[in-house]
Homo-oligomer: A and B are copies of this chain.
Amino acid sequence: MFDIWRKVCKSYGFEEYDGPFIESFDIYAAKSGEEIVNEQLYSFEDRGGRKVAIRPEMTPTVARMVAQKHKELTWPVKWFSIPNLWRYEKPQRGRLREHFQLNVDIFGDENVTSDFEVINIAVDIMKAFGATSKTCEIRISNRRLIDDIYDLFEIPDNKKSVVSKCIDKIRKVTPDEFQDLLSNSSQLTSAQIDYITKFLQDPKPFMDRLSKDSRGTKEIEQLIGLFEKSENRLYVKFDPSIMRGFDYYTGSVFEQFDLNPNNTRSMYGGGRYDDLVDEFIDTKIPGVGWGMGDVTMKLFLENWKLLPDITSSIEYFVTLWPEDKENKFFSASNKISNELRKLGKSVDSYLTPNTKLDKQLKYADKKDIRNVIIIGDKEIESESITVKDMSTGKQETKRFDDFLNGLK
C-alpha cells in the first residue's frame, strides 16, 4: 500500500518529508477541532515542564515546518509524508490507537488548480489500487460558499457552527430526523430550516441568488469545471453537505466515499486551509491537502477484493547441510547466498546448524519461497549446487558458475 502511495505522489513530482512525532500542545489547541483536542489528544508534560502532545494529525506540523523554512523553499511547495498518528478514540477505550496516514499538500498557491491537483492524486491512487468510479467517489464542497449561503439565509454568526455540525450528520439520519436535529440544536426559524434543506437537495437556485463576486461559488464552479474536462470526471461530484470536522478549512473541502451499496462510508477527506500557516509567521501562505489513513484504505480494498495477493518476495532459499562439524558447509552456503545477493536476488539462508533437510524444506514451503538451493558433500566437491523448484518438485544439479552465469 505504501509503495503505491509513494509511486503516485512521486509521479506528480511531490517530495517526501518527515516531521516530529511530538509537538507543542498549543498548535493543536489553536486550530484542530474541539473533539480532537479535548477527547482524543495524547498530551502530557515533558521533563522540561512544557505541555506537549503526540500528533493526532499531520497538517499543523507541516504548516509549522513550511512556516519555519519558508525562506529556503521553492514555491509552490508540493509535499507528501506517511506519518504514524495517534488518537485516543472513545469507542476503543482501553486500547492505544495508532495508524499511518498519507498526507499530500500544496503550499503557496491559492488557486483551485491546486485543489484539482491534490484531488487528482487521490483519484489516481484509487485507480492504481484497481478501484473504479463505481466503488468510490470524492464529494466536494466549499466553506466560502457555505458562509455566503448562511449569510443569504440570515443565519446568525453564533449559530453557524451548530448548523454546520448538523449538516455534517445528514448522511446518518433520515430527512425528518435531520429537520428535528436542526430545529432542536440551532433554534433556526422554520423558513431557515426549509431553505437549508432545499439548498442541500439542489444548491444551484440558491447559488444563482448569491452575488457575482461570491468567491465560494466561483471556486466550486471552476473546480467542478476542471474535473468535467478531465479524465477523472466520473470520480468527483459537488455535494454541498460536505463539511469536514477541522476548524481550519477555509475554501474547498472534500471527502472520499466508499460506494459499497450496503454501507456508504466516508473514508477520509481534506481541504484548503489558507490561514493555518499564519499561526506561525506573518507571511500569508495558503495551503490545500488531505490525509488518507491506512486502516480505512485496507478495509476498502478488502471489501472490494482489491487487496493484492501477497506472494513471497524472497526468491531463493539456501539450505544448510545437516552434518557440519567445522562450519565447512555453512561457509559454502554463505558464499552462494552472497553471490546471489550481489546479483540483486533476495535470499533467505538457513542458519541453525544440525537441522534435518526436511525441516528446512518445510520452512521454505511455509515462507512460500519457490527456489531452494541445496549444498552437500558432493556439491562442494564438484563446485555445484542442486536447485529444487518447490512448485514442481523438480530438482537439478548444476555447476555453480553455470548457474550464476545463467542468472546474469
Contacts and interface: CB of A to CB of B under 8 A. Distances in A.
Contacts of A158: none
Given A226-B327, A331-B229, A117 B351 contact: yes
Given A351-B109, A352-B76, A10 B346 contact: yes
A35 to B, nearest CB: 14
A60 B121 CA distance: 38
Interface in A60-104: 74-76, 78, 84, 86, 88, 93-94, 96, 98, 100
A12 interface: yes
Interface in A365-384: 366-367, 369
Contacts of A348: 12-13, 78
A30 interface: no
A21 B347 CA distance: 30
Interface residues of A, number: 66
A382 to B, nearest CB: 20
Interface of A: 10-13, 18, 20-22, 42, 44-48, 52, 54, 74-76, 78, 84, 86, 88, 93-94, 96, 98, 100, 106, 109, 111, 113-114, 116-117, 124, 222, 225-226, 229-231, 313-314, 317, 320, 327, 330-331, 334-335, 338, 341, 344-349, 351-353, 363, 366-367, 369
Contacts of A100: 18
Contacts of A222: 327
Nearest to A84: B21
B113 A330 contact: yes
Given A46-B42, A327-B229, A341 B11 contact: yes
